[in-house]
Every structure is written in C-alpha cells, then in structure tokens.
Structure 1
C-alpha cells in the first residue's frame, strides 16, 4: 500500500476519533452547523490580497473567495504583512459581521486564538505550507488557496501532519466542485471514453518583464515578514500598465512569476488543470515515472537550475512537458492551446474547461444519460455543492473534503516535477512509491528548499 493510501486511511480514522471527539467538544457546538448565527464557525483570514477579496486591495471587483466563504462562517480576525490591506480587510470583516475583527501582522496571533475554528490562507504561495502545518498543529481546520506548496517536500510534510492531527483541510482547487468537471470525471468512470490514453493540460504561458529596479518597499509593507521563509532578496518595483497592480515587482500578485515564491504557470493554472487530469485518469495515489521537458523557454538564463538575473521574472514562459505513468498513460502540460483539459481514450475524447464540456461522449448523453448518482459518486458520495460549502460540511461532519491534501499533493508533485525538469531543461525519472527522483542528485536537490533562519516550519 502506498504512503498516500496509508495516510488517507489514517486520516479518516483519526478524523472520526481524535478530531470528532476531542476537537468538536472543544468548539462548544459552533462546528455543528453554519446556518444559525450561533453555529457559524469563526474564521481567521491570513493573507488578505485580491485572492481573498479584491476590495481589500483598494479596488472594487468580482475577484476573491471571501465574499462567498463568509456565507458559512464569520471572519473574526484578519492578518496581512501589508498594513493597508489588513486595515481594508478589517473594515470588510466588520461590514460583514457587525463586529470589529482582530487585526494582526503576525499570523501566529490567529493560531494562538482558541476561539478561532478555521484558518483561511490566501497568502503568496511560499507561505502556504508553513502556515497550514502550524494551523493544523494548533487545532484549526484549514482552507488553503492553491497551490498548496512550492516544493514536493512541503506536500509530504502537510500530508503527514494532516494524518497525525486529523484536521480537515480543503485546497482551493474549486474546479473539483464545478458541475462540468464532475460530469467529465463521471463520463470517464462510466467507460464512455474507453481505455484512457492521455490528458493534455493547456494552462497558458507566463509573462516576461522589463528589468525591474531595486526600490524601497512601501511604508505599509513589512518586506522582511512578506518574504518570510524564503531567502532574503531586495525589493524591486517598476510602475507601468501591467496587471492588477499596474506594476512589475517581486511582491503583490506578481510574485507568481518568480521561482523564489511560486512555480509560475506550472503551479498557478497547473494546480487546477493537472489536478483534474490526475483525478480523471485515476492517478491520485501515484505519480509519473518520467517527466520530459521537450520544450522550455525562460525569460532569463539559468545555471544549475537557478536564474542568474535577479532583476526580471524568471518562471517558464513557454513549455511542452510530457509526463508518463507506469501503464503508458500520459499527462502533457503545455502553454498553448485552448485553456482546459483534453482527455483521450480508445473510444472517444472530451474537452473540459470552466466554460464548456464538449466531445462525442457528451453529445451522446442525450440518448444515453449517466446512471443516477454517478456525479455524486464522483463527489465522494456527497451532494453536489459549492466548494466552500463542501469544506464547511466536511469540517462539520469530520469527513474528507473533495479537494483533500493527499490527492492534491500527488497532482501538484507532477507540476513541481515539471518545474524541476524545466529548470534543468532535461528529462527526469521519478519513483512515485518512495517519492524521490532517481539517478539525478541535482534534480533531487530541488524537491525541497532550506527555510530562512527564524522562519522554519514549527512541525511539532
């Protein structure tokens, strides 16, 4: 039995015993439901940028998970390394709940608060694992925006801690709760595509930047705290008509395009589409054997897997990476094509993204519908609901949510391996059982990273 299977089995057992008895009794009934005002879980928000709520960046807009998340729980505390954002978030939380929340720069104040049930993590990617692990150890359930980690090693640690603590953790891969993706998986499981051969994930390319000069951080931003566990770098900023921040920088939103803080498109959209591909192919308990960087273009020069120019975005802008499993099934990750996932089998093919589900097997549903309950079975035998409600119901019932840490770790490991192959520009071999790169010490060295002194993971 694989480490993932053992972890999931232990999680489900411990969730019902340790968490179900000890933790729920400590919550004084607040976790028993979320409709009544007295039953609503208390939530602490760590990271309050645009992924949390666009309004917390000072700009009105439709983006962010908090406006929907708050349907099921109350934000009683907010935290951000940027004073401007945390004050805006505090105003929103007060507007939503009628009470002023706790306001913090240091996330540990939220973890130390015994009255907080759930931690909602919307920080930049390089903070996700550390906060999630420490939140679980503090007895909190966790909703973490994707991607869960920036290294494979972090995913291994999260799976271990989730197993040991029995906490409920949902990852923000919301496509798992969207009807067209669930229907696509149900079609595959019903055999409508025949024997599966391949999934192609078109995730889009990443941007380049001009040379970004060193600059003084804004007075509202604690740059040292924002960097946290990664190696210290100079703040860089260049104003211009670029993206939601109208700038190029090493910071807000633009952190996605630096390997120091993220994995570029390979973990940004890859966390969504490779997750669906892995789920659909039935590979959530394993991983590929080979990862082949057929074509990769970076905007700067690399040496030994690391960028040599600190002044420009450095994640891959174009790529074609082919991963192959032990049965010959492939997941291909590419920058071009219609954004979405193409599944191919011996009897047909389907394409799915956030706007459509197409292909002959889909058209044939008119005359040959799926069996009753097929989609609910895909959804772990639970009623189909939105992604946030699924999490709150899972926390209430002490059940595994639809986007659990174990399957996400496996899918995201494929993204991380693709990133390692891209950085080294060569094919690598992976041992999915032992979760190690075979015969390539340099590549193996990239599955983990050293944490900056004073910001190590408190893994008790």
Structure 2
C-alpha cells in the first residue's frame, strides 16, 4: 500500500496543507494553458470503459445511502454506485464514518474482486495519479468544496444533486469547470429519463402552444421533536462530517421511521437543516426545478423576482435564521413564485402530485418519474414527434442512462447532459426560493450580475462563511 494510503491526512497539518496548496497552484497554471492535456495520460483507459480490463478508476467520497444503501447496513441495492460501477471501478472509498467506509470497501470487493482502499480524508484521493473520476455523495454542504478541489487536481467529477449549498458556490463551480475543462455531471438523473426527455421535446414542437407557466410540486419537509444533545455514534468523525459549516452539538433521538430509525443532525436527516441543505426546495427542487427551467428555455438566465406567497417553518426565524437549534428547521409547506423577464412563471409548491406541470396557450402536460400525461401526449399516436426530436433535446447525443452519458462525455471530452452551467442557473432559483422563504419577503434578482437588487440582507445569503481550515481553494 502506498504511503498516501497509510498516512491519514489531518485537517490541521500545516505542512500537508502547504504542499497541497503549492501543488494545486502549479496545477492551475498548467490547466490554464490546456485542461484537456491533464486527461491525455489517462485517455486510453477512459476510452475503453466498457472493456473489462480497461476501465476508469473511481474514488467515492461519501458512502451513505445515496451512494449505496448497503453501505449503511440496509440490505438494499438502492443508490448510484450499483449503476456507476457498470462503467468504472471503485478503487478508493472515503467517508467521515468509519463504519460506512468499511462496508463500502467490502462491497467493492464483491464487485471487482479487490477491496477498494479506505481513507478518512478526501484529500488523500486528490494526490493520486491513478484516479480518473471522483464520485461525490456527501451531504450537500460538502459538495462544492470537494468538487472544485477535485477539478483542480485534474479529476472528472460526478456530483450528486444539489451541486451547491449557496449561489456563490455555484458561481465558483462554473468558473473552475470552465477554467479546468473537466467533465462534471450532476446527479439530476431525470435529465436522462425518457419521460422527461419526451416532455421536453413536445414543448418546442409547439404541442401545447406558447409556454406560460411551469409548476413544480416537490413535497413538504418533515418536522422533528426537540432533539437532545447526544453522544456521537462510534466511528463517526463529527468534526469532519460538519466540515465547512459552523460547528454544533450532535443531536439525536431514536424512534423515527426512516433508514436511521432516528431524528438527528447527521446521516440522512441532514437535509432538514438549513445549515447543511435547503430542505425540499433543493432536495426535490434540484430535480423538478431543473427540468422546468430546461423546459422553459431559461437554462442560461435566472428569474428576475422570487415571491414567497406562503411559507411555513417548524421553528421561528429572526433575520432569516432559525431561533431554535434543537429541531429540524427547513420549510415544511410553501408556495413560491419565480418570474422570468419574458413573463413566464415557475412555481414551487409543497402540495399537489409530485412532478411538473407545463401549461401553454393550447394545453398542458404533466410529467414525473412514473407517467407523462396530457392531450399532447395522447395525440402522439396519430401525430408522432419528428425524427431525432428526442436526441435534439439530449444535446444531439445517443439516448443512454445518466451514468453512461457521463462516461461517454468523459471519453469524448464533451459536455454531459447535466452540466454545471445550466444546473447552476436552475439551482439558483431554488436557492433564491429558500432565501425568500427564510426572510418572508419577495426578492428582486439581477440574473446577469447574479445579485439581489436593493436588499443587502437578502444578498448576504448568497454566500456563507466557512470554518477556519475548510475554505474552498480556487
């Protein structure tokens, strides 16, 4: 085993940080002259991703249920790793929870015959020349930092949604992706779902007339009882799990009917705390608002206003921040309206049938993962879409699953279907909805400058402060 795998990098080792900083500074200079050159030494292996002995090598950062639920101790194959491994081999797994990364390593042995190396610190991965792809499945508040540093280290990235915790992080992701020319796929897998692709092909073909509105029903968020301070579970590095966000006590209470059988500030339940996530607005919102923005033709421009028509939180707020840190705090009920400069509206709701309703001057269509309905859909039997209409929606690439699209994009050095740039625009609407919900007022937005108009307090939520030692290196 190489030295880098037996030495676990600690957060406060100045010499290691200095070495990493110098290496990345040198790498940025190289990438500025031609990002594709970094991939050249690995191109042969990447181009043969379907061959058994010639496949990209993948490092997993975050091995919870979104990566593979079996790594949490639940005997279900749910997660993205079972699909990702069809095209690449996991050779390293990383998690702040020793128990999960141990189970993940055992899983990879069953997949390839060789157990993946196990590391506690993702930076040990960035210095490895044999890693082609970094697969990020951490809680949301870690996504941008790891993705940016992976790109700067010359790795391609598959990052689960939502890509960022703030709009400012999205701007940084866009800048670094453009600078390094890395291939980055966001895990909004609905972009590769045939039902959604067909819905998005119907709209430009005029099947519902002039588009007027999209409504995204994303479901409400749960509440919790008051959670007492609790001992950190054995094997979990709570300081490392929190990473960039301000430190807090670990809280947990047994009895919840979920995969952890508890309410907590940690695994799985992180998405119901604004400190780590945006609640349902960025959880399911990252999926449905992404598709709606795509369908509206606004993937290069954001809204001009976001209005929280109605919002309900489980705790009280002051100046946009929860006053109670013992309970889940993300919005449980909401109706939020975003308006674009062309007058089209995008509404995000907690109620209604989970999915997206597109309304036009001549009809409407509804789409979710289970069905696609509407008169325009029924009319396809007698009036099918033009040849290659679906491929045109799919960036004129072959219609394949979301993971294969990523690996093919990495091979061809082409933009994947769920790219950083358009996802940032869609997710910005979700983030603005969250800010409006927290402050309880309408926000005016300049989509060109990516700034709040006339509201300094709202503008302050566009970015966040990072804990010392956890800042994003760019």
Mark the runs of 5 or more structure 2 residues left unpaired by the alignment.
1-29
Q: Of 121, 135, 145, which aligns to 1:130?
A: 145
**Deviating more after overlay: 349-358 vs 188-197:** 188-197
Q: 2:53, 2:455 → 1: CA distance?
A: 55
Q: Of 298, 302, 326, which aligns to 1:287?
A: 302
Contact 1:19 1:398 in 2 (8 A): no
Instruction: Measure how far apart 1:241 and its partner are.
Output: 3.0
Contact 2:160 2:186 in 1 (8 A): yes
SS in 2 for 1:51: helix
Q: 1:133, 1:94 → 2: CA distance?
A: 29
| Residues 1:188 and 2:200 are matched in the alignment | no
Q: 1:370, 1:25 → 2: CA distance?
A: 40
| Residues 1:102 and 2:117 are matched in the alignment | yes
Q: Of 308, 326, 339, which aligns to 1:311?
A: 326
Q: Of 190, 206, 214, which aligns to 2:229?
A: 214
| Residues 1:410 and 2:457 are matched in the alignment | no
Cα deviations across residues 324-362 of structure 1 (Å, max 9, x unaligned)? 011110000000000000000111100000000000100
Q: Of 462, 468, 471, which aligns to 1:447?
A: 462
Cα deviations across residues 19-64 of structure 1 (Å, max 9, x unaligned)? 44x1332116111121112321000000000000010001111410
| Residues 1:260 and 2:301 are matched in the alignment | no
Q: Please provide the CA RMSD for this pair.
A: 1.3
Cα deviations across residues 259-281 of structure 1 (Å, max 9, x unaligned)? 00000000000000000000000
TM-score normalised by the chain length of structure 2: 0.93
Task: Report the counterpart of residue 388 of structure 1 in structure 2.
Answer: 403
Task: Report the counterpart of residue 65 of structure 1 in structure 2.
Answer: 80
Task: Report the counterpart of residue 34 of structure 2 in structure 1.
Answer: 18
Contact 2:43 2:411 in 1 (8 A): no
Task: Report the counterpart of residue 324 of structure 1 in structure 2.
Answer: 339
Contact 1:24 1:31 in 2 (8 A): no
Q: 1:174, 1:318 → 2: CA distance?
A: 25
| Residues 1:365 and 2:365 are matched in the alignment | no
Report 1:164-175 matches (<5 A): 164-175=179-190
Q: 1:241, 1:143 → 2: CA distance?
A: 31
Q: Of 169, 179, 183, which aligns to 1:154?
A: 169
Task: Report the counterpart of residue 192 of structure 2 in structure 1.
Answer: 177
Mark the runs of 5 or more structure 1 residues left unpaired by the alignment.
1-13
Q: Of 241, 258, 269, which aligns to 2:284?
A: 269
4+ runs of 1 displaced by more than 4 Å? none
Instruction: Measure how far apart 1:310 and its partner are.
Output: 0.4
| Residues 1:379 and 2:394 are matched in the alignment | yes
Q: 2:256, 2:233 → 1: CA distance?
A: 19
Cα deviations across residues 233-286 of structure 1 (Å, max 9, x unaligned)? 100010013311110000000000000000000000000000000000000000
Task: Report the counterpart of residue 225 of structure 1 in structure 2.
Answer: 240
Contact 1:43 1:74 in 2 (8 A): yes
Contact 1:153 1:447 in 2 (8 A): yes
Q: 1:384, 1:28 → 2: CA distance?
A: 23
Q: 1:457, 1:33 → 2: CA distance?
A: 33
Q: Of 352, 356, 359, which aligns to 1:341?
A: 356
Q: 1:141, 1:279 → 2: CA distance?
A: 24
TM-score normalised by the chain length of structure 1: 0.95
Q: 1:449, 1:74 → 2: CA distance?
A: 35
Task: Report the counterpart of residue 398 of structure 1 in structure 2.
Answer: 413
